[in-house]
Structure 1
C-alpha cells in the first residue's frame, strides 16, 4: 500500500510539472525520484522570493533545452515553504534560491554556475560524462554537431600523439566553458579530411556567408589553443548573453533586438547577417555582437532607451569604455558610418545625466554627469564627493551629517559634493560598487582620487579633512580641533 501511495505522489508531481520539464519534488518524493536520475540540478526556492521569480523562467527554458541530452540531465525544484520543508532543512538551505547538483539522491556539489538558461545548460552539460565526447561514427558525429553550441573537436588518427593528449588535458580544464568532442574513427577523419588536428566547429544556426563554419588550430601549445579559442570562438558577430559578457572586449559594437535562436532563428539571423556585412570590414579593429533586448534592458537603460522596436538598436563602447549610441535608424550604411566615426574618435560620447541644477548654492553642492568637471574637478578646491543612491538607507542616514560638515566648512577652501550614481554616469576613475561611496580629491591632484574609508560622524569628517587639506584650515588645526575660542 505504501508503494502505491508513493507512486501516486510521483505521478502527480511529474504530471504537474510536465509543461515546463522541471520536476516538482516534495519531502515524500525527493529521494525516490532522484534515485531514478543520474544527474539532477535541484533548485530550492520560496514562492515569494524575487530572485527565485527571476530565475524560474530561465530554469524552465534550460530544462526544455536539456531534456533530450545524452548523458541525461534532469532539472528539479523544491518549495521550501510547503511540501519540501524537511528536505530544505536536511540540506541546510538558508537562502533562496539555493541550487545543488545531485548524483542519484546524494548531493554532489553546490551549483556555482550562471543563472540564465544557456549558461545553466552549458554548466550542467560539463558535469556529466567525460570532458570530451568520443565519437565512433559519422552518424554519431552528425547528431553530436546538430546542436545550438559551438564545438571544439579533435581529429586524431593516433590517440596517443602529443596533440591529442594536449587536447584532452585542455578539455578537462575547460569543460564548463567549451563543448568538446574527438574521434579516431577512419570514416569521421575521411569525411572531414583531417588527422592530428583541432578544429573549431561553429553551431549550425550561426552559419553565414561571411566566415567559415570551421576554423583550424595551427599551433601546438595549451596557451596558444586558449588564445585561439578566445579570438575565434564567437566569430565576426557573436551571440552575447549574460553568460558570455566577459568574452567580448572593447571597442565593442552591440546590436540589441529580439534575438531568439529557439523560437525565431530565421528572424534573428536576418538582422545578424546585416551586422556581419559591416563587421567583416573591421576585423581586428573592433568586436561585434548581438544581444537579446529583453535580457539586457539594464544596458539599454544606461543609454536612455526604455523601448526597442522591430529594428536593432546599436550601442557601443570604445577602448576607454566611453559609451556611444547610433541615433539614426538601423541600416547597413548607417552602421558602417557609425563604426568608422567611432574608431576615428569623431563621435560625442553618450552621457547619462540629470539636468544641471538651476540653483546650486546649498552647502553640499550637487553634481550631475554634465557638470561633474565643473563642480568637482575644476573647482580649485579640495573636494569630498559622495556617490549615493536615493533608496539607500545608509545614504539617507549620512545626508544630515554631510550637510552639517559642509556648513561647518563653508568658509574653507573645501567643497562637499554629492551625486546620484543611479541617475548619472560616474567617471571611470571612481570605482563605485556600493552606496554610499566617498572619494577625497586634493585640489592639485584631482587625477588621483583617494577612497574615503574613515568614520561617518561629523567629527570623523572634520578630522580627516583637517589632516588632508592642501592648506591648513582657517577654523580647525591639523588635528581637527576648532581654532575658535569662546569668550
Structure 2
C-alpha cells in the first residue's frame, strides 16, 4: 500500500504541465506528453511560443473550439520554449504548428481553418474510424443520405487485399472525403455492382437528371488510383463551390454561376437555377472548361474586387464569371435568361475567343510625360510588354508608407536614366489594377526588371533602397540578360 502511494505521488510530481491545465485545453510537456496523449483517440495539439504574435491571435479561437469540442475531441497545447524536446521530436520549426494525434501517434498536420467554428467543424470530421463499417442496407442508406458526397468500398471479406488498400487510402484522405466499407457484396448489388468495387455517391442535394448520382470505380485499387478517381468524379458536372473547396475547383479553368444559393434554407430555389445551368453546360463538357454554382453572398468581396460586380448586378438573377487557371477573367454582361440561351451564347463566344477579358484597371492618365511612367492594367502591354525596351516597374500601394519613402529615390533613378532610349522606368498601383501573371507581388513596394524580348521572365529586385542599389540592379540585370542572349547564340 505504501509503495502504491509513493508511486502515485511520483506520477503527480512528474506531470506538472497537465495538472496546470486551464479551461478545456490540456497543457502538455516533455514529462507527460506520451503518457497523456495515448489516452485520447483523437487530439489536436497546438505547439506554440508565448512571444509569437500568430499564437496569441489563435489562442482565444483555440480555447473556444476546445469548449465546443469537449467530450468529442481533446485539444491540447505545448509551450515549445519550455518543452523543446517534445517539439523537436515532432519536427516543429515554426509557430503555431498544429498536429492531429490519434492514440498518441502523430497522424497528420492540421491544415484547416483557424477560427473556433472552423476548428470545431474540421475536427468533428476527424472523430471515429477512417472508414465506417456498414453491415446492413439501412446502414448504407443512412451513410449516403448526407449533405456531403460519400465513398463506399464493397468487398468480399475482411481479408480482402483491396479492402486493406482502401483503408489505407481512407486514413490518408479522410480529411477531404467521407469513407465507409462493407464486406457484404449484396449491398453493392443494390447499385448494379456484383464484385469488389468502390462506389462514389454524389451528394443527394445535388441530384440531377443530367448526371449519374453514383459512379463506380472498378480498376486496380491503389491509394493513387483511388485518389485520382475521387478527384475526377466527386464534384460532378456542376458542383457547389464554397469558400472551403474553391481552391480545389480552381486548379482548372472554371465557370461559376452566382445566385442566392442556400441548400440549408432554400434547396428548391437552389436547384431550380442549378438545373438550368446543368441543362446548358452539359452540352459543353469535355472542352476544357469546368463548371460550378455558388452563393453570391459568400463571394461578394471577391466579386467586387476581382470582377467589378456588386450586389445590384443581376438583381435576383444569376450572374456568371469565368476564371482560368492562368488568371484570365471574363464576365457575362447579358442578363441571365431562364431558358439558358444567354449562358449558351456566352459559352459559344468564350470558346470562339470572342470575349474580351475583364481587367481591373484605373483609367489611363491623359498625360504621361514624366520620367516615371504611370502604368495601369489596360496600358501594361503597351508600355511594358510590347515595347522594344528594358523596363523597371515598381508595384506599390497608395497607402504604403514604405512606398512613399521610396518614391523620391525611384524618381531619381528615372531622372538618371531618362536619356537612355532603351529603358523605361514605370510604376503601377497594384491595389487598384490587376497585376500581370508573370509578376508575383508578395508585398509593397515590389520592383522588377523586365528585359526586352523576355518580358515573361522578369527579375525581382531584393536589394537595398538607395539610388546606388537600384542603379547597380539595373546594370547587373542588363548585363546578365546580354550574357544569356550570347549563350543562346
Distance 1:179 1:329 in 2: 38
Closer, same or farther in 2 for the Cα pair 1:411/1:371, shift >3 Å?
Answer: same
Question: 1:49-448 maps to which residues of 2 (within 5 A)?
Answer: 73=72, 111-115=110-114, 123-185=122-184, 188-194=187-193, 195-222=195-222, 223-248=224-249, 249-285=251-287, 286-300=289-303, 301-307=305-311, 308=313, 309-318=315-324, 320-331=326-337, 332-413=340-421, 414-448=423-457
2:472 maps to what in 1? 463
Separation in structure 2 between the aligned mates of residue 215 and residue 232 of structure 1, nearest angstrom: 7
Unaligned residue ranges in structure 2 (runs of 5+)? 1-20, 28-35, 49-53, 85-93, 481-489
Is the 1:406–1:416 Cα contact (8 Å) retained in structure 2? yes
**Alignment deviations for residues 163-221 of structure 1 (CA, whole Å, 9 cap, x no partner):** 22221221122111211000113653443343311010011111111111100013114
1:27 positional shift = 3.5
Q: Shift in Å at residue 400 of structure 1? A: 1.9
With normalisation by structure 1, the TM-score equals 0.75
Q: Secondary structure at 2:351's aligned position in 1?
A: helix
| Residue 453 in structure 1 maps to residue 462 in structure 2 | yes
Cα distance in 2 for partners of 1:228, 1:107 equals 27
Displacement of 1:160: 2.5
Contact 1:137/1:187 (CA < 8 Å) preserved in 2?
no
Is the contact made by 1:318 and 1:342 (CA closer than 8 Å) also made in structure 2? no
CA distance in 2, matches of 1:146, 1:231: 21
Q: Is the 8 A contact 2:130 2:167 kept in 1?
A: yes
CA distance in 2, matches of 1:236, 1:105: 41
Q: 1:268 & 1:427 partners in 2: Cα distance? A: 36
Mapped to 1, the partners of 2:120 and 2:148 lie a distance apart of 10
For residues 19-30 of structure 1, the aligned pairs below 5 Å read 27=22
8 A Cα contact 1:52 1:96, kept in partner: no
Separation in structure 1 between the aligned mates of residue 95 and residue 258 of structure 2, nearest angstrom: 31
Q: Secondary structure at the match of 2:442?
A: coil
What is the CA deviation profile of residues 379-409 of structure 1, one whole-angstrom value per residue up to 9, with x for unaligned ones? 4332100112223333222222111211222
Q: Give the equivalent residue in structure 2 for 1:22.
A: none
Per the TM alignment, residue 313 of structure 1 is displaced from its structure 2 partner at its CA by 1.6
Cα displacement (A) at 1:122:
6.8
- Report Cα offsets for 1:283-314 as digits up to 9, x if no partner: 21120011222322343121101225322220
Cα distance in 2, alignment partners of residues 186 and 335 from structure 1: 44
Flag structure 1 segments of 5+ consecutive residues without an equivalent.
1-25, 79-85, 472-487
In structure 2, the CA distance between the partners of 1:221 and 1:394, relative to structure 1 (3 Å rule), is farther
The answer on whether the counterparts of 1:136 and 1:185 sit within 8 Å (CA) in structure 2 is yes
How far is 1:103 from its partner?
A: 8.1
CA drift at 1:134: 0.7
Count how many residue pairs are aligned between Structure 1 and Structure 2.
429
**Residues 26-41 of structure 1 aligned to structure 2 (within 5 Å):** 27=22
Query: Which digits, 9 at most, give the CA deviation of each residue in 1:358-387, with x for residues without a partner?
Result: 121222111001111222123433210011
What secondary structure does 1:254 align onto?
strand
Runs of 4+ in structure 1 deviating by more than 4 angstroms, as ranges, are: 28-32, 34-44, 74-78, 86-92, 95-110, 115-122
Specify whether residues 409 and 186 from structure 1 end up closer, same or farther in structure 2 by C-alpha distance, changes over 3 A only. closer
Distance between the aligned counterparts of 2:180 and 2:116, measured in 1?
22
Q: Residue 226 and residue 38 in structure 1: after superposition, are their counterparts in 2 closer, same or farther (change >3 A)? A: closer
SS at match of 2:469: helix
SS at match of 1:143: helix
Give the Cα–Cα distance (whole angstroms) in 1 for the partners of residues 74 and 161 of structure 2. 38
Aligned counterparts of 1:303 and 1:116: Cα–Cα separation in 2: 28
**C-alpha distance in structure 2 between counterparts of 1:130 and 1:350, whole Å:** 47
Structure 1 107/177 Cα, relative in aligned 2: closer, same or farther at 3 Å?
closer
- Give distance in 2, aligned partners of 1:178 and 1:340: 35
